[in-house]
Structure 1
Amino acid sequence: MTAQDLPMPHRPRLWLPLPLLVVFLGLPALIELLLIAGDLGWLPLRGVRSLAYQNGAFWAGLLDNWRPNYAAQPWLMFLTYSFLHAGFGHLVGNMVALVVLMQLVARRLTAWSFTAVYLISAIGGGLGFALLGQAVNPMVGASGALFGIAGAWKWIDWQRVASGPARAWMILRDIALLSLLNLVIWVTEGGALAWEAHLGGFLAGLAAMAVLDRRAGPGPRGG
């Protein structure tokens, strides 16, 4: 057998398909750039940020007795808020985190399963904010979905360790580190942190990954 006859070694995938990058990286970036252009008067879009927040941000009051701007708003906001951001710095921070997290889960999630985890986590983030939050201000940002992807990653990580004290310690350590991260961000942002969305997103992503793992069954998985 010659070298040409040998099968090429499998190279682990480090990136998810291009359409996912366009949707989850490109779309939020495009939206924020248009909002910035409107803020600066570069385009005839002045006031568009306020309009975008009014119609696309997560308003917990819409689940109570507030009147929506359109009939589907109380439902669509569970997803639309994750594509809006509070400014360029907010966008960059979330997109950098998403790039890192994509590489961490790309070997285990297909395009469809990543999309499912991301969207379920965004919904979970909205639920967490609605159930635990007290703010009347709107929520925007992809961080609920990002913490959900982090939850999926940690689920994958935890399954590499046999059940017992070692896994329990690993879980406690990771939860403590994530809690510390939220505390640091909360302090640096002057309390302007939707930790409720982070918690809801993390739990939703964790649960979604557990279901996907169960459906996949034993053995190596990829995509």
Structure 2
Amino acid sequence: MSAPDFQPPVNPLPPVVILFFLAIAGVEAGLSLGEAGLIGGPGAVGWRLGLIRDYGFSGQIFDWMIANGQFPLSEVKRLVTYSFVHLGFTHGIFAMVLLLALGKMVAEVMGQVAFAVIFVLSGVGGAVVYGLLLNDPMWLSGAYPNVYGLIGAYSFVLWRSLAGTGAQQARAFTLIGMLMALQLLWGVFFEVGTLWVAELAGFFCGFALCFLLAPGEWARMRAGLRRR
């Protein structure tokens, strides 16, 4: 008698999504335990600020690199590393939840390599735009520009799907529109800063990268060129 197929109650996550999640969660777990006094002794209270200083993204440092034409690896690495250090436990938890939810969809539809490229380059693009457009002394930290890049990929998939059914494609941008509206509403009551610039840039990076990474897009582009 053959054994019945086992169906897990929750669909397994793609390994690359788990890898990025564990990288962020591991850093946050260490920092949170240190702040709670469970590891590291009294000095652990300053770990978070130390990591932001060493691995966060500074627009002023970026401006210095552009102005002097010097790009030391110790500073360039911040374009990637800032995404793995968050301002606090809650800040990190929300980013991780969004990463799991959106990352699963993007990795399953576009593939794990495409997911990794979109996640990393959306964070890089968000930081670059933040550094170029603004002169804000506030350091950039956290995976939100990366997550917004995944929202861009999600919007792309929905946009293509709606085009295939003849539906209104503008509906694909409902999520990003709602998030930006919430940012605006929140800004009426609280000081939200300018970090939303990096997040919005991350969204556009994620959306644009899908033209290169989404399955079938190269064939679609070649077909369009031939018709011309």
Does the alignment pair 1:59 with 2:58?
Answer: yes
User: Counterpart of 1:25 in structure 2: which amino acid?
Assistant: F
**1:154–1:15 CA distance, 2 compared to 1 (3 A):** farther
Are the equivalent residues in 2 in contact too, given 1:14–1:107 (CA < 8 A)?
Answer: no
User: Shift in Å at residue 73 of structure 1?
Assistant: 2.9
User: Counterpart of 1:95 in structure 2: which amino acid?
Assistant: M
Structure 2 residue aligned with 1:217? 219
Structure 2 residue aligned with 1:29? 25
Q: Distance in 1 between matches of 2:20 and 2:186?
A: 23
User: Shift in Å at residue 116 of structure 1?
Assistant: 0.7
Aligned with 2:138: secondary structure? coil
Q: Distance in 1 between matches of 2:146 and 2:189?
A: 21
User: Shift in Å at residue 49 of structure 1?
Assistant: 1.8
Aligned with 1:107: secondary structure? helix
User: Shift in Å at residue 179 of structure 1?
Assistant: 2.0
User: Shift in Å at residue 38 of structure 1?
Assistant: 2.7
Runs of at least 5 residues in structure 1 that lack an aligned partner in the other structure: 219-223
Aligned-CA RMSD value: 3.0
Q: Distance in 2 between matches of 1:56 and 1:120?
A: 17
Residues matched between the structures, number: 205
Q: Deviations over 1:138-195 (max 9, x none)?
A: 11110000000000110111011238x9545325645532321332454576314610
**1:52–1:97 CA distance, 2 compared to 1 (3 A):** same
Structure 2 residue aligned with 1:221? none
Aligned with 1:134: secondary structure? coil
Aligned with 1:162: secondary structure? helix
Calculate the TM-score normalised by the size of structure 1.
Answer: 0.78
Identity %: 26
User: Counterpart of 2:28 in structure 1: which amino acid?
Assistant: E
**1:131–1:30 CA distance, 2 compared to 1 (3 A):** same
Q: How does 1:13-24 map to 2 (within 5 A)?
A: 15-21=12-18, 23-24=19-20
Q: How does 1:142-181 map to 2 (within 5 A)?
A: 142-162=143-163, 166-171=167-172, 173-181=174-182
**1:211–1:182 CA distance, 2 compared to 1 (3 A):** farther
Structure 2 residue aligned with 1:135? 136
Aligned with 1:102: secondary structure? helix
Runs of at least 5 residues in structure 2 that lack an aligned partner in the other structure: 221-228
Greater helix proportion? 2
Counterpart among 36, 39, 42 of residue 38 in structure 2: 42
Q: Distance in 2 between matches of 1:80 and 1:216?
A: 31
**1:63–1:106 CA distance, 2 compared to 1 (3 A):** closer
Structure 1 residue aligned with 2:223? none
Are the equivalent residues in 2 in contact too, given 1:57–1:138 (CA < 8 A)?
Answer: yes
